[in-house]
Structure formats: structure tokens, C-alpha cells
């Protein structure tokens, strides 16, 4: 098996798994269904991933990694400034990357969005596997929030940040209604959409 065919097979499996996990959930998706969707055999799944659980983790990681990297990049820019970032600036860095993913509106991005939304509604043991892939980014944003809102307890801020993430998941789960948030559809309008969401969230998280 060549290197290119190995990569292609792995991507085929991940694409099939994500599509099925997004629509059917972890429990509702069988390895047999993934095999049929990816047009591979069971040996290929075991070779690349070992188990259904490891395949799920790899699927989450593939979606989470570019989002978390971009979130942290935007947060780093804010933290490199001489001035302490504001709550709206931190929130914008948090929510812009996933909103950008949705606004692209390609079939692949819509599946990513639906999959992320589905992960949040999984039973806790599976949900925890998904959350682990986003945890580094969320922890960094929590630390940033503690600096700009020192009077709020870590527990309260963690709870509020979780509500922000839950709101994002709600948006991800409602792709079609998202269109009603903006009369525009180009990538240039993301800032406007993010700003309105940030304005809404800031009042609650700063209270």
C-alpha cells in the first residue's frame, strides 16, 4: 500500500465516520455502517484507529484542531498587546473561528458544524471525549477572562464560559436558522455577525 493510498483510506474513514456520527450519534453509528459508507474493510479501521472510540476521538480532533489553533492565535495577539484585552475582544477571538467555519457553508463545513453540535448532546462519557479535544483552548480563554474579570470567582467564570460554548453549539445545531441572523452571506460579513453575538454575550458574562 502506497503512502498516498494510506492517506486516502484514512481520510475516507474519517469522512464517513464524521458524517454518520453527526447524523446518528456515537451509539447509533456502527463500524459496519462506517465500513459501508467509507467503502473499506474492518481491517482498515483497526489498522488506522484500533477501535470505534479511538476513531471518534480522531474525528473530533480533526475538526477541533484548526478551530482551537485559530482561537489561540487570535487570543495570543490580544495578550501580546500592552493593554489588557477587553471582554468583547476575548469573546470575539473565541467565537469567530467556529462562525467562520459555518459561514463558509460548504458541505464539509456543514458536516463539521453538525458533528460538533452532536458531540455536545452525547451521553457524558462520549461528550467528555469530545470536550477533551477543546479543553486546552477553553482553559486559555478561562485564564484570560479571570484577568479581565478578577472580581468574579473561577467557578462562576467557568460556568459562564460553558454557557457561551453552549450557545455556540446551539448555533451549530441550527445551521439553517443561522441564515436569518444576517441578510448578507459573504465572508466579509462575519465581523458584523460576530459583533452582534459578542454584544449579546458580553452583558451576561460581565454581570
pLDDT of 102-132, one tens digit each?
A: 666 577 888 888 899 899 889 999 999 999 9
- Check if the beta carbon of residue 94 is closer than 8 Å to that of residue 67: no
For the beta carbon of residue 66, count every other beta carbon within 10 angstroms: 12
The pLDDT confidence band at residue 182, using thresholds 50, 70 and 90, is very low
Which of residues 45 and 197 earns the better pLDDT score?
45
- Residue 43 belongs to some domain of the structure: no
Rounded Cα gap, residues 38 and 164, in angstroms: 35
Among 191, 1, 4, CA closest to 99 = 191
Reported as a single tens digit per residue, the pLDDT across 34-53 is 999 999 999 999 999 999 99
47 within a domain of the structure (yes/no)? no
Query: Residue 177 falls within a domain, yes or no?
Result: yes
> How large is the average pLDDT for residues 18-29?
96
Question: Is 95 a domain residue?
Answer: yes
Predicted confidence band at 167 (pLDDT cuts at 50, 70, 90)?
confident
What pLDDT, on the 0 to 100 scale, is given for residue 103? 65
> Domain residues for 192?
56-206
Residue 118 domain flag: yes
Asked, for residue 48, whether it belongs to a domain, the answer is: no
Q: Is residue 143 part of a domain?
A: yes
Are the beta carbons of 204 and 163 closer than 8 angstroms? yes
Give the number of domains in the chain. Answer: 1
Q: Is the pLDDT of residue 13 over 60?
A: yes
Enter the DSSP assignment of 83. Answer: S
The CATH code of the domain that includes 162 is 1.10.357.10
Give the pLDDT band (50/70/90) at residue 170: confident
**What is the structure's pLDDT at 59?**
97
* In a domain? residue 15: no
Give the pLDDT confidence of 60-109 residue by residue, as tens digits.
Answer: 999 999 999 999 999 999 999 999 999 999 999 999 998 887 666 577 88
Average per-residue pLDDT for the chain: 87
Radius of gyration of the chain (CA): 19
Q: Write out the DSSP string of 153-179.
A: -HHHHHHHHHHHHHHHHHHHH-HHHHG
> Is residue 56 within 8 Å of residue 129, measured between CB atoms?
yes
Give the rounded percent of residues in the chain with a pLDDT score beyond 90.
68
Instruction: With H, G, I as helix, E, B as strand and everything else as coil, classify residue 50.
Output: coil
Amino acid at each position: 500500500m502506497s503512502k498516498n493510498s494510506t492517506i486516502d483510506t484514512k481520510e475516507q474513514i474519517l469522512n464517513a465516520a464524521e458524517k454518520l456520527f453527526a447524523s446518528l450519534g456515537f451509539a447509533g453509528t456502527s463500524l459496519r455502517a462506517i465500513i459501508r459508507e467509507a467503502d473499506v474493510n474492518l481491517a482498515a479501521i483497526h489498522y488506522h484507529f484500533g477501535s470505534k472510540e479511538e476513531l471518534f476521538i480522531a474525528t473530533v480532533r480533526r475538526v477541533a484542531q484548526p478551530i482551537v489553533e485559530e482561537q489561540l492565535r487570535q487570543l495570543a495577539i490580544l495578550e501580546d498587546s500592552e493593554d489588557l484585552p477587553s471582554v468583547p475582544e476575548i469573546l470575539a477571538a473565541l467565537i469567530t473561528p467556529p462562525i467562520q467555519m459555518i459561514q463558509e457553508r460548504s458541505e464539509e463545513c456543514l458536516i463539521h458544524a453538525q458533528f460538533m453540535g452532536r458531540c455536545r448532546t452525547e451521553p457524558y462519557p462520549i461528550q467528555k471525549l469530545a470536550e477533551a479535544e477543546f479543553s486546552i483552548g477553553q482553559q486559555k480563554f478561562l485564564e484570560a477572562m479571570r484577568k479581565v474579570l478578577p472580581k468574579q470567582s473561577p467557578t462562576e467564570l467557568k460556568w459562564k464560559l460553558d454557557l457561551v460554548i453552549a450557545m455556540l453549539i446551539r448555533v451549530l445545531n441550527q445551521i439553517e436558522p443561522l441564515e436569518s441572523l444576517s441578510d448578507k452571506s459573504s465572508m466579509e460579513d462575519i465581523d458584523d455577525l460576530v459583533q452582534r453575538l459578542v454584544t449579546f454575550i458580553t452583558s451576561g458574562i460581565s454581570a
